[in-house]
Amino acid sequence: MGVCDAIRHNAPVGKPNAMSAPHLPKLSGINPPIPVSTQTSVPPPDVPGSLLQDRLAGWVSELTTLQELTESLARTSTLDSALHELLGAGAALVGARRGLLVLEPGDAGGPSRTVGLGLTHAELGHIETVPRRATAHGRFLDGLPDTGGPQASPDILGDPGLDPRSREVALRLGYAACYAQPLTTPAAGRLGVAVWLYDEPAEPLERQRHLVGLYGRHASQHLVRLLELERARADAAVIREELLPARLPPVPGVRLAVRHRTTPRGGGDWYDALPLPDNALGLSVGSVNGSGPSALAAVGRLRAALRAYAVLEGEDPVAVLSDLELLVRLTADPAGSATALYAYCEPGHRTILLAGAGHAPPLVTGDLRTEFVETSLSAPLGMLSCWEAPSVEFSPLSGETVLLYTDGLLRRTGGPTDHAFARLRAAAAGVPRALRLDPGAVADHVLGAVLPGGPEREDGPEDVVVLAVRFD
């Protein structure tokens, strides 16, 4: 008999009072009536009403707790955070304080993860040394018979058929019982399994099993959505890496380094370094509107076209960008508009000739100066019926580093544009003298000083590219 059945069984004859009639919480995706174990069966009608009310209050409290846990899980937006949330909530429902969760999708599409609760990385490693066939979660992951549902091991050390390695690890880590809850959905199949560990021989009550089962089904659906998102991000990352140079070319007279930080969805910032005849070097950075697959496709088209134009007429940056502008207009590129900066560099003469289309100016930094290169104002590609802006030539000094960067570096500061430029200049001027010999160290210092949350923050709103060129 469930909660609703108990209410109906003990309902008074006649029309109930609307204010005093019991109401159960409505849970999203969860059916309120739950089966009750023999330990919590509804008493007969002659049981005092106060006891029945206490039982009903306990069931309502459990349902409310379940709702709160599912809402907390729904707020997680990354796979790792969801796994940790699921493991902790399940431990609360079954009365355990330690556990582990193994994510191993049955379609072999990855990703595979193992996270722990109250277990160190080394302790998780000890558990992984136990043969899979000797553990409840391993048998489920391997698809062995009779492993499709929850598995309780109430007295691990008292099991006469226990694998010797299982006994050794249990004694070493100090657990005596476990409860395994498979994570599956009808559509996706096997996702993984959560295991909770008890310090003493024990197993969850029937009502605890039912609650964690409800929670596990809801959690599995949430994990499927996050898995799809994680896989899409991984695919976008692979495509993005294929669209950018695998390595920067070695060119006498300069040393190159690049730092590329992307948004989870994959943005449209790009860079390139192309060796040209006579030991010259073509350098470019740029960005397209938007993010995701369409932005990545636009990046591939623009970068490939700019490379071709640089080979044909690389000594004239204005001609290179004019050709790129014409291509954008004639092909009706879905990027809509894009910014780009192209620089023709002759390291032997320490000269750079550059032109920009709606792009931020380079920054030159060294022991004697830190200043922005004065470039002419120009519209982004695709914004005008005809684009042309004069080029600018400048000569870096020996030992100076030129920073080419995308607008995302400025926008990630979160402040007005003039403040962002000032912050960038101050960061470059503050590079310690010992770090100035390495362009990569210069780029790392600038990113660490400019970006809120540090350069490794992965949830930033903008892509960032910093291409550092140090002249010997």
Task: Report the CATH number at residue 174.
Answer: 3.30.450.40
Query: 349 with 391, same domain?
Result: yes
Question: Would you call the peptide bond into 45 cis, given omega within 30 degrees of 0 as the criterion?
Answer: no
Residue 12 lies in a domain: no
Residue 48 lies in a domain: no
pLDDT at 453: 64
Sign of torsion, CA 394 399 400 405? Answer: positive
Residue 379 lies in a domain: yes
Task: Tell me the sheet residues that pair with 185.
Answer: 189
Render pLDDT for 108-163 as a digit per residue (tens, 0 to 9). 888 999 999 999 999 999 999 999 989 988 988 888 877 778 999 999 999 988 99
Residue 329 lies in a domain: yes
Range of the domain at 425: 251-471
Query: 170 with 283, same domain?
Result: no
Does residue 294 sit in helix, strand or coil? helix
d(CA 114, CA 102): 5
d(CA 237, CA 370): 34
The single residue listed with the structure tokens 């004697």 is 368
Query: 225 with 305, same domain?
Result: no
The long-range contacts involving 233-242, CB below 8 angstroms and separated by at least 24 positions, are 233/264, 233/265, 233/266, 234/110, 234/111, 236/265, 236/266, 236/292, 236/293, 236/296, 237/262, 237/266, 239/266, 239/293, 239/296, 240/266, 240/296, 240/299
Residue 335 lies in a domain: yes
Query: What is the maximum span of the chain, computed from C-alpha positions, in angstroms?
Result: 101
> What residue ranges of the chain have pLDDT lower than 70?
1-49, 264-267, 291-292, 332-336, 377, 384-388, 453-461
Does residue 344 sit in helix, strand or coil? strand
Residue 125 lies in a domain: yes
pLDDT at 459: 52
* Domain-ending residue, one of 202, 234, 266: 234
Query: 175 with 275, same domain?
Result: no
Helical H segments across 129-280, by residue range? 136-141, 164-173, 206-243
Query: 389 with 360, same domain?
Result: yes
pLDDT at 374: 86
Query: 259 with 382, same domain?
Result: yes
Task: Tell me the sheet residues that pair with 256.
Answer: 469
pLDDT at 11: 38
Query: 207 with 255, same domain?
Result: no
Query: 423 with 390, same domain?
Result: yes
Does residue 434 sit in helix, strand or coil? helix
Query: 271 with 389, same domain?
Result: yes
- CATH label of the domain that carries residue 297: 3.60.40.10
Domain count of the fold of the chain: 2
Query: 86 with 181, same domain?
Result: yes
pLDDT at 217: 94
Average pLDDT, the chain: 83
Closest to 308 in 3D by CA, of 276, 352, 270: 276
Query: 378 with 411, same domain?
Result: yes
The long-range contacts involving 108-116, CB below 8 angstroms and separated by at least 24 positions, are 109/231, 110/231, 110/234, 111/79, 111/227, 111/230, 111/231, 111/234, 113/79, 113/80, 113/83, 115/80, 115/83, 115/84, 115/87, 116/87
Query: 262 with 346, same domain?
Result: yes
